[in-house]
Chains A and B, each alone.
Chain A
């Protein structure tokens, strides 16, 4: 799997992401500066990492979403290329119009930084095939604006088309208000676009991939992508 990690001013999780990709795919990802007009040849996966691009000025991800490299990402996604956005990356993908909806201020108005549980809603997608449907995984979150909102029509469409891949839940997989950490509509933690090749999620799977991290539940996401691409090749 040849991956490209986008780098914007103010992004700070790109090296965690690169480490996870290197570890699981066995290949060094390319780091791509936001001013680039193209992606490296043969890119299989574009990752928009987390952080605080442009200091979260204007709206989280708003300015990064208009960077030159995003035109290349849009073209890549239009051809069916896989795109993963984590945390600020999810916000950037929404602002760029690659995913519907918006990430609002957490309902409790607090920046939240700790582990959460996610229910994997289905396993038949490139982004979830490393897990079983219904499986509960533990991964960290670290965000102040992760409260996913969209209009009723969009939410209905996301649910109807099975595009909610990850949902906040209790340790035993129950989706309830208490586990919906940031107040997101339908407890949404991660969604895909209509074609299923662009995933945005607030939690950080890249931070739970090694024993030293105390948990390796995030590995499945990356291992699933590697397996998907190997099968496609």
Chain B
């Protein structure tokens, strides 16, 4: 099974990297960029075919390591 965990900064958390990217996009003349927040994507392959079990394992992975829940939110998707 293929799965994806997306980790993003919580709203209200200062994101200097996002700000720098935003500034760079604006200086490149990319139209209509209002703001940028950056984050991380983890593409994970799982053995087995139990979707519920996979979601539980990914949630466990995100809580234990992939995200720092003090400042980050995460979203778990089992893709196939």
Contact = CB atoms under 8 A, between A and B. Distances in A.
B65 A109 contact: no
Contacts of B13: 104, 149
Contact of B68 (A62, A63, A106, A109): A62
B52 interface: no
A154 to B, nearest CB: 9
**What band does the interface of chain B fall in when counting residues whose beta carbon is under 8 Å from A?**
10 to 19
A173 interface: no
A107 interface: yes
A56 to B, nearest CB: 13
A158 to B, nearest CB: 14
B64 A109 contact: no
Interface in B1-59: 13-14, 16-17, 20
B70 to A, nearest CB: 5
Interface string A46-70: 0000000000001100110010000
Contacts of B20: 109
B68 A105 contact: no
Contacts of A196: none
A14 interface: no
Interface of A: 58-59, 62-63, 66, 95, 100-102, 104-107, 109, 149-151
18 contacts: A58-B66, A62-B65, A62-B68, A63-B65, A95-B68, A100-B70, A101-B70, A102-B68, A102-B70, A102-B71, A104-B14, A104-B16, A104-B71, A107-B14, A109-B16, A109-B17, A109-B20, A150-B70
